[in-house]
Amino acid sequence: MRIIAGTAKGRNLSSPKGTKTRPTSDRVREAIFSIVGDLVVDARVLDLYSGTGSMGLEALSRGAEHVVFVETDPAALRCLKTNIERCRCQDRSDVVNRSVISYLEKIDSGDDVDLIFADPPYRGDLGSLTLLAISKHAKSLKRCMIILEHASDQAPEPIPDNLDKVDARKYGNVGITFLQFQEIQGA
């Protein structure tokens, strides 16, 4: 696994042993960033369930201003911190060791976020719970685009009323759903 483009292009990323952490593949990351395009430039990003940090680090490499990585697994946190150093992004990164739902419940209304990458464990309802927690913070997050990774056969249901699905893609067993708050759709 490596950074695909930008200032850290080609840098290899560490990943914990075992199957508990499931990094987003190079192919899927490339597809997501092709769709996101220039929205990443100067963006403030949340990388939820960040694992190795591949999504947030790719965003930083492509010109994002700042990324907050949210992760709780100790092995993933060690790799994440190593990867941030390897990509020389310490000054544009914060690592939060807290559950994603707890973090979202406490997010400051002054926090300006442009992109949210969320890659929760595939089985279970964390994808839907994460969208619900994001949707409750419309005041602070209403300008952002949300990119949710999930199993291709398990699209998030239900989608909160104040969010609109603007795109959905499948890459083998990986599904990606792009959402925005209704207030900004078409802007």
The more confidently predicted of residues 18 and 157 is 157
Cis ω for the linkage preceding 158 (within 30 of 0): yes
The more confidently predicted of residues 135 and 118 is 118
CATH number at residue 87: 3.40.50.150
In this prediction, residue 185 carries a pLDDT of: 45
pLDDT at 138 over 80: no
15 within a domain of the structure (yes/no): no
20 within a domain of the structure (yes/no): no
With vertex at residue 113, the alpha carbon angle to CA 152 and CA 25, rounded to the nearest 5 degrees, is 30
Long-range contacts of 30-33 (CB under 8 A, 24+ apart): 30/4, 30/5, 31/169, 31/171, 31/176, 32/117, 32/147, 32/176, 33/4, 33/5, 33/58, 33/59, 33/62
7 within a domain of the structure (yes/no): no
Question: How many structural domains does the chain have?
Answer: 1
**Contact yes or no for 104/137 (Cβ under 8 A):** yes
Strands 174-181 and 163-171: antiparallel
113 within a domain of the structure (yes/no): yes
What is the extent of the structural domain holding 156?
26-184
What is the overall mean pLDDT for the chain? 87
pLDDT at 15 over 90: no
130 within a domain of the structure (yes/no): yes
12 within a domain of the structure (yes/no): no
* Total residue length of the chain: 187
Segment among 82-91, 106-115, 143-152, 159-168 with least mean pLDDT? 106-115
User: What pTM did the predictor assign?
Assistant: 0.90
With cut-offs at 50, 70 and 90, classify the pLDDT of residue 22: low
pLDDT at 111 over 70: no
100 within a domain of the structure (yes/no): yes
Compute the Cα dihedral for 177, 169, 5, 10 and give only its sign: positive
